Structure 1
């Protein structure tokens, strides 16, 4: 029974990874407008139902809000502790990946193109190539950062593997080497590089890029890093003081995670 359950969790973990990667690729194609018949500025009624077609800004804001709320609330340690009474850590992580992926698909499927002139369009082949290079660098950074993490634990299959093999795994450790020695969240840095390296900017792209950028600047220090301080304590507080958050140079110190926060 234990082995069967562990195998089922392994399978759900693999499915979660495949769905998650598919969602990221799908979103990349959608945002980048690589395909003529599919993209953030393409009116394609066969693909998107237009939930609130008469109000594109409201419709698209709702879709982005669903993603941001789901991604923030369900990732909190307090929520994980409550859900641990109902399911294992690995199952919860798989469900989290699934809902994150579904919220990305929902954005692409329900998005209503916003009629507007192009905000900017860089025609220089050299500059366009340079921007595409920045976007490609973002993809590489994301892959390298992901592989620098304890991957099996991150995707939620180390726990069922432990039950199958009988080998006790070590607890999660704080990764501060490689790309993580330059910035605390290189995977988020890669997302920003991909978002802002598009040589053609429409109002729809600006809306997605602006919302995600503000979300990262607010949610990471106020929510995610509070959880990391709870997990790693003084080690992560020291990490904050020595390593920038998203860019390889320090612009500010997270006010909620300074020594004053430590005393509280």
Structure 2
């Protein structure tokens, strides 16, 4: 079972994290590989030791452990799960390890989060109910806080009507939705439609992220999202640098026929 997790079954080479989540000049392969091995074994005691040592190596800011170690490892494990190269039990053990790793680092970086800067935005984040996308969204929430934004993280599996109510009550600048599963897309499209139709937050910017959008270029645009990117660092930069960007009706192609048939 271990080989199915950390080695490619066809070539025998070690699995590397998804290309859209990291690049060689940003990530230490050995640390990512070590995290993958510990996650596979479910070795929680040594995982804590490894994380504390990794955090100490990034003395300037331990957030880099999130972006350069945990995120690429999570991307690699998501690929293993999506390609059905591990048992359900193995995936559950790995996700448990990754939840521990994420919580450990977020706890350690709490003291590094700066006050909201003058360009900071109010952001609320929700995700699909899958374990990978919920962790990706939680990592993004922590990194956005480190960027100086005010962030609320709602987790995964929240009904659309409750997301709408949360948006209406808090009036955030950005609603960020994470998805890794294609089955989540119809619900996201419908949520975007409903928020736009109601018009309760006319200035709201809707951003999307997660593996399904990275794997399907153009999908975010087609469902009417205002903002998207192929990886998390670019999405974070866009949230800060492009607050005025909004979808235009012409970009929307998914669901047009359905709306037309209802109108008829």
Could you tell me the TM-score, scaled by structure 2's length? Answer: 0.31
**Greater relative contact order (CA < 8 Å, ≥ 6 in sequence):** 1
Higher strand share: 2
More helix by percentage: 1
